[in-house]
Amino acid sequence: MNPPECALPINNVLMVSIFKRIALSLLAILGVLSYSCVNDMEVINKFIDTESETDLIADNVEVLYTDSARLQMKMTTPLLKQFTTASEQRDEFPEGIHVWFYENDGELNAEVTANWAKHDKITDIWEARSNVVLTKADGQMLETEQLFWDVKKAVVYSEKYTKYTDTKTGNISSGESFWAIQDFNEYKLSNRTGIGRTVIYMRDEEEDNKD
């Protein structure tokens, strides 16, 4: 017996219907995926935007830095802001800092004040800006607009104009840049003008001979 003439059209209709359902399902899935991707991108963008926001804000902070239970540095600040991103971890002190450096015997060695400062926790480098003043316990004073402290290398330096004043003698000199070891017992002013040598050794020679 010959098959009915309507068999082929019915199969075609069924196939078309199936394809339509598959197509609709795919479109629905693509729509959900597209919506999901949009939402994911919004979440990512939101995360990126908030990633640069302040993680911590604290008022009237005091921080102590010690080595082998010996106080090396004390810092106070009216305002501390901490930031953490994928590429940077830093503390900022937008209202300035006051730092005290101590000798191994606990005696005060030097003080630093500045109107603004930052500490990069990854490189462990401090930066102080604006009206930076360093005062030694013996009365010697340095003034500059920018000062860096590299904790890992144990050096302090500046690429800005620096003025040196010996309050005991009244001598004043200046230089285009500044470098010192961390305890400030030795430092130099580059391209120095004024009275004295380019390099100033502040360590007591008799003390060195005892060592």
Quote the pLDDT of residue 75: 92
Domain 56-210 is in which class?
A: mainly beta
pLDDT at 130: 95
Q: Give pLDDT tens digits for 162-179.
A: 998 988 888 888 888 889
To the question of pTM greater than 0.85 for the whole model, the response is: no
Q: What pLDDT is attached to residue 21?
A: 52
- Mean predicted lDDT score pLDDT of the chain: 75
182 vs 109, residue with greater confidence: 109
- Residue 26 pLDDT more than 50? no
Each domain of the chain, given as residue ranges in start order, spans 1-51, 56-210
Query: What are the tens digits of pLDDT across the range 125-139?
Result: 999 999 999 998 888
State mean pLDDT over 103-111.
89
Using the CB atoms, write b or e for 1-14: b if 16+ within 10 Å.
eeeeeeeeeeeeee
pLDDT value for 193: 61
Lowest mean pLDDT among 6-20, 108-122, 154-168: 6-20
pLDDT of residue 99: 92
Q: What is residue 118's predicted lDDT score, i.e. its pLDDT?
A: 95
- Tell me the per-residue pLDDT of 40-70, one tens digit each, with 9 for 90 and over: 545 444 444 444 567 889 999 998 988 888 8
- In the chain, what is the straight-line distance between the N-terminal and C-terminal CA atoms, in Å? 119
Pairing of strands 177-181, 199-201: unpaired
What number of other Cβ atoms are within 10 A of residue 174's Cβ?
A: 18
- Percent of the chain having pLDDT more than 70? 64
Those residues with Cβ within 8 angstroms of residue 122's Cβ, 6 or more apart along the chain or in another chain: 88, 89
Question: For residues 203 and 180, is the Cβ–Cβ distance under 8 A?
Answer: no
* 96: amino acid identity, one letter: G
Cα 19 versus chain centre, distance: 59
Residue with tokens 């908030």: 50
